[in-house]
């Protein structure tokens, strides 16, 4: 089942913060986050495993709440280069050989 991302789109001014959520109706084993710029390939950001871990990647971090079956991506002090569409991808269990992607959150950063 496809995870649900929110919001669908967000517009920020440079330096502002954003949170992107990814929710599933089923239990999650892991959550993958990718960013895609228009017309380009998605680029891997990070993977989170069940266990409620939190990861960081420069000013981009994420959390995974296993009980709530959701993950959140945090972008702090946003830069123009953060613009793009962010996708979460989920695996339901350790035997799952494929990732199911959400429909994406479009992030626009203005100077």
Partner 1 sequence: DGGITQSPKYLFRKEGQNVTLSCEQNLNHDAMYWYRQDPGQGLRLIYYSQIVNDFQKGDIAEGYSVSREKKESFPLTVTSAQKNPTAFYLCASSISSSAAENQPQHFGDGTRLSIL
Contacts to partner 1 by CB under 8 A = 2, 29-30, 32, 39-44, 47, 49, 87, 89, 91, 93-104
CB of residue 19 vs partner 1: minimum separation in angstroms? 19
Nearer to partner 1, 17 or 93 (CB): 93
Which phi and psi angles does 51 have, rounded to 5°? 125, 0
CB of residue 111 vs partner 1: minimum separation in angstroms? 25
Nearer to partner 1, 81 or 97 (CB): 97
- 8 A C-beta contact, residue 107 and residue 60: no
Please state the three-class secondary structure of the chain as a single string.
CCCEEECCEEEEECCCCEEEEEECCCCCCEEEEEEECCCCCCEEEEEEECCCCEEEECCEEEEEECCCCEEEEEECCCCHHHCEEEEEEEECCCCCCCCEECCCEEEEEEC
CB of residue 15 vs partner 1: minimum separation in angstroms? 27
Nearer to partner 1, 37 or 59 (CB): 37
CB of residue 38 vs partner 1: minimum separation in angstroms? 10
Nearer to partner 1, 13 or 98 (CB): 98
């Amino acid at each position: 089942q496809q995870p649900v991302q929110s919001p669908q789109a967000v517009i920020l001014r440079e330096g502002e913060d954003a949170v992107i959520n990814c929710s599933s109706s089923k239990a999650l084993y892991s959550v993958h986050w990718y960013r895609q710029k228009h017309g380009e390939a998605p680029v891997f950001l990070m993977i989170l495993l069940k266990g409620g871990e939190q990861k960081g990647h420069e000013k981009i971090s994420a959390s995974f709440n296993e009980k709530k079956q959701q993950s959140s991506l945090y972008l702090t002090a946003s830069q123009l280069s953060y613009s793009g569409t962010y996708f979460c991808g989920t695996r339901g269990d350790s035997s799952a050989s494929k990732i199911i992607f959400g429909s994406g959150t479009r992030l626009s950063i203005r100077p």
